[in-house]
Amino acid sequence: MTAQLIDGKALSQKIRAEVAARAAALAARGRRPGLAVILVGDDPASAVYVRNKVRACAESGLHSVMEKYDTALPEAALLERLAALNADPAIHGILVQMPVPRHIDPHRVIEAIDPLKDVDGFSVRSAGELMSGLPGLRPATPWGCMKMIESTGVPVRGRHAVVIGRSNTVGKPMALLLLQASATVTVCHSATPELKRHVQMADIVVAAVGRRHTVTADMVKRGATVIDVGTNHDEAGKLCGDVDFAAVREALGPQGWISPVPGGVGPMTITMLLANTVQAAEACA
């Protein structure tokens, strides 16, 4: 018997229905939640992500605007545009798709967004709120991972979680969310010797590295929960995660849980972005 599947698509549909209901309630009071998505440059993957975000807004009854700029857009022009969106009452969330071209400082861009509209949860203020346990806008991907872990019904409190990856967007906020839920948290990264030794002790594994087969069957404990944040491609060009899915699913056994790629974290990331936009609109209602 293999581990049970954490179906990110099904969970995301359930949460999107709740988000749509909250958006409709706000719209009925004349405050339809609005998201502005900005793309600078012509990275094809970013263009797909941005399109999916805008489409998801329409499907859930949110207002959205998509602004696309040439790679050569000066940083000052982008900051000026952000100032205008900060002042726009129809816009409750602002997102600049990362990465931005090299001549633009991503930190300056993130800090130029009104913290109340920082639906990516990337600003220093949002990060500080998460670290301090204060309410605020949480980064969508790790927040979606928490919802997936909670959906299994297995309690997080007192369990040992191993996060692989230490990015500002996933690894670090993921560790803080798990800590806040009273897990014992280990963060592993590229300089961690003997990754296997850590993962073998984990009740919860979150893999956010961006490298195929980072987590293999010999590394996991039977009965553990494994969340795969990776988006990689195999030799055939097929989308795959950081986890050797079939073999790990087998090794986890019937008490274990595992999220697939695709159909796992991906749909949840956009869903939690919508949830953040509605939360931001509710906060100023």
- Supply 207's token pair: 């893999």
Nearer to ligand GUN, 38 or 199 (CB): 38
Nearer to ligand GUN, 98 or 116 (CB): 98
Catalytic residue selected from 118, 120, 203, 242 = 120
Under 8 Å CB-to-CB from 65, ≥6 apart: which residues? 34, 35, 36, 37, 91
The C-alpha atoms of residue 144 and residue 138 are separated, in whole angstroms, by 10
The C-alpha atoms of residue 18 and residue 20 are separated, in whole angstroms, by 5
Smallest separation (angstroms) from ligand GUN to the CB of 197: 30
Active site residue 200: no
Active site residue 117: no
Catalytic residue selected from 97, 228, 244, 279 = 97
Nearer to ligand GUN, 65 or 98 (CB): 98
Smallest separation (angstroms) from ligand GUN to the CB of 35: 11
Q: Where are the alpha helices (DSSP H) in 87-223?
A: 106-112, 124-132, 140-151, 171-180, 195-199
Smallest separation (angstroms) from ligand GUN to the CB of 81: 15
User: How crowded is residue 155: how many other Cβ atoms within 10 Å of its Cβ?
Assistant: 13
Q: Which residues bind ligand GUN (CB under 6 A)?
A: 95-98, 120, 140-141, 169
Nearer to ligand GUN, 49 or 257 (CB): 49
- Sign of the CA dihedral with 120 first, then 125, 128, and 129 last: negative
Cα separations in angstroms, 240 against 60, 112, 132, 231: 28, 35, 34, 6
Smallest separation (angstroms) from ligand GUN to the CB of 45: 9
The C-alpha atoms of residue 83 and residue 71 are separated, in whole angstroms, by 20
Active site residue 53: yes
Nearer to ligand GUN, 202 or 265 (CB): 265
Cα separations in angstroms, 279 against 59, 80, 92: 17, 25, 9
The residue nearest ligand GUN at its CB is 98
Smallest separation (angstroms) from ligand GUN to the CB of 169: 6
Q: What are the residue numbers of the active site?
A: 53, 97, 120
